[in-house]
Amino acid sequence: MRRTAEWVLAACLLIPPLAEAAERSAAPELSATQIIEKNAAARGGVDAWRKIKTMAWAGHVKSAAAPARNLPFLLEQKRPNSTRFEIMGANQRSVRIFDGSDGWKMLPDGKGPPRLQEYTADEVSFARDSQSIEGPLMDAAARGLAVTLGGVDAVDGRKSYRLDFSPRPGSMHRVWVDAETFLELRYDREFRTSAGRTARVSVLYGDYHTFEGLQIPVTIETGAGSGKAGDKLLIDKIALNPRLDDGMFAKPNLPLVRHRGALIDTRAPTSAQQARPSVAPRAPAPSTAPGEKRGTPPQ
């Protein structure tokens, strides 16, 4: 699940690194293992998340750098590590696909059909390191991921446990877990820019809602604290275990053709694509309104 946040915003938008915002606070009170267990329970439980084989999010992106104020998007994920992300603009769309090994970008071109590009080596590494549907902390020990407790910080004024882990040598990832709700507040990871430099993307999670017993944030923000307005991913609808064909995560079959000013996909739609409108509306919190303090779950 957390892969959605950083994969979408870091891989699909030009995101400036977020300045460090956490503060050192009191000494840790729990072990990393205990925090991970409480986090899993707060989010719905390991067994419930294991039953989620596919997930689809529909919503809109708010970004000062985007060509339109609110760009509709559709993010689809399938285990073990396939992702398809589309941003729909006026008569154009941008698509990024990763099938678990290779990736492709279908970029709009105002003068003709979209351009198809393969992922760079750095983009492939970024995608491979991205989180699974349930996020990096869920059942970390069983997946062989060593997580350590780095300390206790303040994130948005909330006491938070900072957990550190390294999916591969030389990479550093950090997750901050609310000390009260045990839901993730923030996720940092390092990546290489197109210029070959090491940078860091930081994502903030908020406005958690319940979907079939699972806690999922519907507001995801990146870029805040960089001196510029942050980019926001606002989720309007979520579907758990929708039917997603493997062909949706294959290399796009270009070209597209232009018809009456609009780009038309010449490929026959798959059954999964036809089923996309079944994405369910965002479930409202039982007794708390949207806009609640970041990381605070429904009561």
Whether 263 has a pLDDT exceeding 50, the answer reads: no
Q: What is the pLDDT of residues 106-164, one digit of tens each?
A: 888 766 677 889 998 888 888 887 767 988 899 888 888 899 999 999 999 999 999 99
Give the per-residue pLDDT at 185.
Answer: 96
Q: State the residue range of the domain holding 114.
A: 3-281
What value does the CA radius of gyration of the chain take, rounded to a whole number of Å?
Answer: 19
Identify each DSSP E strand in the chain by its residue range. 23-24, 54-62, 70-78, 82-89, 92-98, 103-109, 112-118, 147-155, 158-165, 173-178, 184-192, 198-211, 214-222, 231-240, 257-259, 262-264, 280-281
Q: Considering the domain boundaries, does residue 251 fall inside one?
A: yes
Q: Considering the domain boundaries, does residue 85 fall inside one?
A: yes
Under 8 Å between Cβ of 22 and 175: no
Q: Considering the domain boundaries, does residue 296 fall inside one?
A: no
Q: Considering the domain boundaries, does residue 189 fall inside one?
A: yes
**DSSP state letter for 259:** E
Q: What is the pLDDT of residues 153-169, one digit of tens each?
A: 999 999 999 999 988 77
Q: Which residue has the higher pLDDT, 143 or 282?
A: 143
> What does the pLDDT average to over 260-265?
38
Q: What is the pLDDT of residues 166-200, one digit of tens each?
A: 887 777 899 999 999 999 999 998 776 667 777 78
Q: Which residue has the higher pLDDT, 231 or 89?
A: 231
> What does the pLDDT average to over 234-250?
95
Length of the chain: 299
In Å, the largest CA–CA distance within the chain is 64
**DSSP state letter for 51:** T
Q: Considering the domain boundaries, does residue 22 fall inside one?
A: yes
**Which segment of 119-123, 246-250, 253-257 scores lowest on mean pLDDT?**
253-257
Whether 279 has a pLDDT exceeding 80, the answer reads: no
> What does the pLDDT average to over 232-257?
87
Whether 236 has a pLDDT exceeding 80, the answer reads: yes
> What does the pLDDT average to over 263-267?
36
Q: Considering the domain boundaries, does residue 50 fall inside one?
A: yes
Which of 193, 138, 94, 99 is closest to 2 using CA atoms?
A: 138
Q: What is the pLDDT of residues 35-93, one digit of tens each?
A: 999 999 999 999 999 999 999 999 999 876 666 677 899 999 999 999 999 988 766 78
**DSSP state letter for 2:** T
Q: Considering the domain boundaries, does residue 263 fall inside one?
A: yes
Give the per-residue pLDDT at 67.
Answer: 63
Single pTM value for the model = 0.75
Give the per-residue pLDDT at 264.
Answer: 36
Q: Considering the domain boundaries, does residue 290 fall inside one?
A: no
- State the total domains in the chain: 1
Determine the residue type at 290.
P
- Output the domain CATH number for residue 217: 2.50.20.10
